[in-house]
């Protein structure tokens, strides 16, 4: 994939993210204002904040993204489905769900895929995309492949690398492995530790088609400064 060169193209890659537990309504308001100003792809917020974000972004091209089974993935499948349904009803247009990592590591691949499929189905019925977080930092190479294939086979729109709440975030090598595994037709969201324009560029070059970051404003400001290679000119990160 060729690295986008324009500010607009880069902004449309970014899910502008605020998932900390103590996020206030004022902070969500600011997040949405920034997303509108820079025309990010979406804001990514916890389910409690979906209705507020949906109201602030109504009529705009900025989507409302939320998380399901977050951040551990060990929620019961029925609860994940319910969470996705209720989030869609409140205005979520994209759902980022966490797989059952323990089930994956126990070799229960059918259970993992069924868990994903339930949320994918609920998301799509609610008119939302579904991104599947596999939490790459906790997985072996084989488990990364297995979980990526499970997400694709369950109908996911994206495979997402990380929650940003575990031991590490996205890496270009993991993005590259996921792309090799799922092919060109499913999106990849790189999240966790993408703090600079250089970080974003590396993820896109590896195959990412969406970036989860709380440093989106900083990334655009770096682009505007003209100091970053690969944008208009060099180098080159908020956790998510």
Structural domain includes residue 236? no
Number of Cα atoms under 13 Å in the Cβ half of residue 74: 4
Q: Which residues contact 46 (CB under 8 A, 6 or more apart)?
A: 19, 23, 66, 67, 70
Structural domain includes residue 97? yes
- Structure tokens given for 224: 């505007």
* CA 11 – CA 226 distance, rounded (Å): 16
Number of structural domains (the chain) is: 1
- Give the pLDDT band (50/70/90) at residue 230: very low
Is the confidence at residue 240, as pLDDT, over 90?
no
What local confidence, expressed as pLDDT, does residue 114 receive?
Answer: 98
* CA 235 – CA 240 distance, rounded (Å): 20
Query: 187: buried, middle or exposed (CB in 10 Å: 19+, 13-18, 0-12)?
Result: middle
pLDDT digits (tens, 9 = 90+) for 65-74: 999 999 999 9
Structural domain includes residue 233? no
Write down the mean pLDDT value for the chain: 93
Q: How many residues does the chain have?
A: 240
Question: Could you tell me the CATH number of the domain that includes residue 184?
Answer: 3.20.20.70
* CA 149 – CA 156 distance, rounded (Å): 10
Q: What phi, psi does 14 have (nearest 5°)? A: -100, 125
Helix (H, G, I), strand (E, B) or coil at 131: strand
Structural domain includes residue 239? no
- Give the pLDDT band (50/70/90) at residue 2: low
Active-site residue numbers?
Answer: 96, 160, 189
Structural domain includes residue 238? no
* CA 152 – CA 186 distance, rounded (Å): 7
* Overall average pLDDT of the 54-74 stretch: 98
Neighbours of 177 (CB within 10 A): 18
What local confidence, expressed as pLDDT, does residue 229 receive?
Answer: 43
pTM, 2 dp = 0.92
Structural domain includes residue 240? no
Structural domain includes residue 231? no
Tell me which residue range forms the domain holding 190: 7-225
Structural domain includes residue 61? yes
Mean pLDDT is lowest, of 35-49, 59-73, 182-196, 215-229, for 215-229
What local confidence, expressed as pLDDT, does residue 166 receive?
Answer: 97
Mean pLDDT is lowest, of 28-42, 132-146, 217-231, for 217-231
């Amino acid at each position: 994939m060729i690295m986008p060169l324009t500010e607009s193209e880069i902004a449309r890659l970014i899910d502008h993210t605020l998932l900390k537990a103590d996020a206030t309504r004022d902070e969500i308001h600011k997040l949405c204002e920034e997303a509108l100003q820079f025309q990010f792809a979406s804001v990514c917020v916890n389910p409690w904040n979906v209705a507020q974000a949906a109201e602030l972004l109504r009529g705009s091209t900025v989507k409302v993204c939320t998380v399901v089974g977050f951040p551990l993935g060990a929620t019961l499948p029925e609860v994940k489905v319910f969470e996705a349904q209720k989030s869609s009803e409140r205005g979520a247009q994209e759902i980022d769900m966490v797989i059952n990592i323990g089930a994956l590591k126990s070799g229960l691949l059918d259970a993992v895929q069924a868990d994903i499929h339930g949320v994918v189905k609920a998301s799509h019925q609610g008119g939302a995309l579904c991104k599947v977080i596999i939490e790459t930092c906790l997985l072996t190479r084989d488990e990364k492949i297995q979980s990526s294939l499970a997400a694709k086979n369950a109908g996911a729109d994206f495979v997402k690398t990380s929650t940003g709440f575990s031991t590490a975030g996205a890496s270009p090598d993991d993005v590259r492995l996921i792309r090799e595994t799922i092919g060109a037709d499913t999106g990849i969201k790189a999240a966790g530790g993408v703090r600079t324009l250089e970080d974003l560029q590396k993820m896109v070059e590896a195959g990412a088609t969406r970036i989860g970051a709380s440093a989106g404003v900083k990334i655009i400001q770096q682009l505007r400064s003209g100091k970053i290679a690969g944008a208009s000119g060099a180098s080159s990160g908020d956790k998510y």
